[in-house]
Amino acid sequence: MSEYIIQPWGTAEQDLEDVPAELTELAKKVTKYYDMKVKNMLMITSKPDKGGAIWRIDTDKGARSLKVLHRTPERSLFSVGAQEYVVNQGARVPKLIRSKSGDNCVEAGGKLWIVTDWIDLTPADQTSIEGFAKLCYGLGEFHHHSKGYYPPFGAKFSSRLHNYPKQYEKVITKIGWFRELARAYPETLASKTLLKMVDKYQQQAIKALEKLNNTSYYDLIAKGEQYWGLAHQDYGFSNGQIGPKGVWIIDLDGVSFDLPIRDLRKLVTSSMEDKGAWDVNWMNGMIQAYNQANPISPQLFEVFHTDMMLPNEFYKHVKEIIFNPDTAMNEELLTLLSNIESQDATKWTALQQLSKDWKVGGKFIPKNWEEAFKKKYPEKYARKNYGMSDKLWEKLKQQPFREENWKENIEKDLEKSKQTIPEKVKDVKKQPQRKWKKYRKSIPKRPKKTLPKRPKKTLPQKYKKRKLTKNPRKLPLRKGKRKYTPIRSPKKPVYGTPLRKKYLAEKKLKKRRRSTPKNFAGRRKKFVNSLSRKRSV
């Protein structure tokens, strides 16, 4: 399976159903790693410029989806782990099917492959605010369930949480490149209009960066990746569709740690572009729907408002001219620039009204917003306030959002389980200490275990008679069994007796006798030779 390496086989404009024959053969081999029998394979879509594809496969266990992830295996492992984590948390995301070996993915052709359940989905209505509100509510649910994710071992860590200032600086510098390209290619159709618009949008990006540095952005990102969870990075009507029990989110290839308002900002600004003008009521409806599933704090909304001040749509459409300036600055770009200019006239009044509505003490965020959130979103605080059992808490989390009769429903659930809502939950730490002391006194104490006393160790009789009256060298005595012996003489019990002195004297003589015979014989020969020489003379 490692012979064929998957690589991009075309461009984005190519037919999506046209894939290499080697890739389809590889897909059939991958299906054999799963406990299923494939009856039919149907190509759904592909990415020829990146090297990804999706098939619908009919098996003996129902319809399933086979997908090859176009990113590197390490980066794809991050998204595979995220998909499995979010499903376990209760999010509406297709469940991963494990292979025969128990793995949630298979590596083949230098890429990762996954098999998931096939879910029949329909896109939401793009013409009404209700369709956008459903999409935003589903996005908020996904962000809420993604909190606390830790990537698996071997996965490439992906986070955009700290990249906001760099992204703003990148936009400012590239808008400066647009100016230079418009001057370098004056013969193109869109060069003159682009040269007129560049200064204004560069100033907008600079103001957005200055405001970002004055917000509480750095305090928010200090809470960490697990606190904020994952962002989809490519959320829209194609990746968020309506299915059983609500909105289902698919294609989690590019998920990464980020502030949750990144996805919401992209959805709001793209909807305003499609609408042709910035509408405050439309934006409020989208933000309110998201706020029901995943509440937005005033500090987070301030960063969200700052991110919308950035000229995102202008940058998104014009950045392609860097690669092909002579062909990209054509009539199509000219029409896009005129639409962006007309929309920008309504953008700033709408953003001003939006900031008034969502400031603390405004239309949607009251002054005591923390207490208001607890009343408005009781499911997040019910266990803390009412001391519910684990079964009831799990049941409440599965129920949909309730705003009006939430307290009555909680009381009914508690009556069924023969529980009542206490007025004040007693805290163990706040109870008086006197009662606790009386209770402790009433508890009978355990009797202490008495062990038998060990008999004292007595020395042998021969050591008792002798007394250490003499210790000429003042050697330290050994502790333990042989209390009356010095450290240097473990064999002999007493040091300094006449017998011991005699023994040491004999030992010294033996050492001398062993070392002197050869030397002595040699000296004797030399002495005799010297005498004979003298006599001859």
What's the pLDDT score for residue 512? 67
Which 3-state string (H, E, C) describes 162-179?
Answer: CCHHHHHHHHHHHHHHHH
Average pLDDT score over residue span 63-67: 94
420 is written with which tokens?
């009542």
- Could you state, in order of their start, the residue ranges of all structural domains in the chain? 1-119, 120-371, 385-416, 485-516
d(CA 136, CA 128): 13
Q: What is the DSSP code string of 173-199?
A: HHHHHHHHHHHH-TTSTTHHHHHHHHH
Residue 203 CA, distance from chain mean position: 35
Helix axes 406-416, 390-398, angle to 10 degrees: 140
Condensed to tens digits (0 to 9), the pLDDT of residues 157-203 reads 999 999 999 999 999 999 999 999 999 999 999 999 999 999 999 99
Do 142 and 162 meet the contact criterion of CB atoms below 8 Å apart? no
Do 135 and 129 meet the contact criterion of CB atoms below 8 Å apart? no
d(CA 379, CA 36): 40
Q: What is the C-alpha radius of gyration for the chain, rounded to an integer number of angstroms?
A: 42
| Residue with tokens 């006449």, as numbered in its chain | 498
Q: What mean pLDDT, rounded, does the chain reach?
A: 79
Average pLDDT score over residue span 401-414: 53
What's the pLDDT score for residue 10? 84
Q: Is the pTM of this model over 0.85?
A: no
Residue 363: pLDDT band with limits 50, 70, 90:
confident
Q: Which fold has domain 1-119?
A: Phosphorylase Kinase; domain 1 (3.30.200)
Q: What percent of the chain has pLDDT over 70?
A: 69
Helix (H, G, I), strand (E, B) or coil at 482: coil
Condensed to tens digits (0 to 9), the pLDDT of residues 423-464 reads 444 443 444 444 445 555 555 666 666 666 666 656 555 555
Average pLDDT score over residue span 479-490: 49
Average pLDDT score over residue span 248-264: 94
Average pLDDT score over residue span 265-289: 92
Average pLDDT score over residue span 317-328: 90
Average pLDDT score over residue span 500-515: 72
Q: Which of 43, 47, 4 is nearest to 22 (CA)?
A: 4
pLDDT higher than 60, residue 350: yes
Q: Look up the CATH number of domain 120-371.
A: 3.90.1200.10
Cα-based distances in Å from 338 to 40, 197, 276, 333, 458: 49, 10, 11, 9, 110
What's the pLDDT score for residue 525? 55
d(CA 491, CA 497): 14
Residue 256: pLDDT band with limits 50, 70, 90:
very high
Helix (H, G, I), strand (E, B) or coil at 249: strand
What's the pLDDT score for residue 460? 57
Residue 120 CA, distance from chain mean position: 30
97 is written with which tokens?
């099917």
d(CA 473, CA 486): 10
pLDDT higher than 80, residue 482: no
Handedness of CA 483, 485, 489, 492 (dihedral sign): negative
Condensed to tens digits (0 to 9), the pLDDT of residues 90-127 reads 999 999 999 999 999 999 999 999 999 999 999 998 88
The single-letter code of the amino acid at 506 is E
Do 6 and 111 meet the contact criterion of CB atoms below 8 Å apart? yes
What residues contact 451, with CB distance under 8 A and at least 6 apart? none
Residue 394: pLDDT band with limits 50, 70, 90:
low
The DSSP element (H or E) to which 469 belongs, if any, is none
Q: Which of 221, 239, 379, 353 is nearest to 287 (CA)?
A: 353
Residue 360: pLDDT band with limits 50, 70, 90:
confident
